[in-house]
Amino acid sequence: MKYRVVLVEAAECDLLDLHLFVELNDSPDRADILLEHIEQAINTLSQMVQRGHYPPELARLGIHDFREIHYPPYRIIYEIIGKEIIVHAVVDGRRDLRDLLAVRLLH
């Protein structure tokens, strides 16, 4: 079964911010390649929706509505709703994400 992948506005902003950061601190080509690889990882969810695991910050609270996959060091946080995959965040996994996840996912 194929699912439709949808990025919320905040996740789209994450990708734009990430691209800009890499472009300014490395090179435009590397920024393009990174964005392409992350988008490919996101698009694999349409076929393999259950492959992600529960974000540990949320699982410890008993919240199992969200899953994540990785394109190291980035974490792609998503939710399955019906036939859609809703991507809520694309974030650097080296950051402390408790506050970010609480604001974006538990509002």
Per DSSP, 33 falls in state H
Which pTM was predicted? 0.89
Q: What pLDDT, on the 0 to 100 scale, is given for residue 1?
A: 73
Structural domains of the chain in order of their starting residue, each with its CATH number: 4-105 (3.30.2310.20)
Per the listing, tokens 């990430």 go with 18
For β-strands 66-71 and 74-81, DSSP reports them as: antiparallel
Work out the angle at residue 1's Cα, subtended by the Cα atoms of residues 101 and 46, and round it to the nearest 5 degrees.
40
Give the CA count within 13 Å in the CB-facing half-sphere of 18. 25
Longest dimension (CA), the chain: 41
Give pLDDT tens digits for 15-63. Answer: 999 999 999 999 999 999 999 999 999 999 999 888 899 999 888 888 8
What mean pLDDT is reported for the chain? 91
Per DSSP, 101 falls in state H
Tell whether the model's pLDDT for residue 84 goes beyond 80. Answer: yes
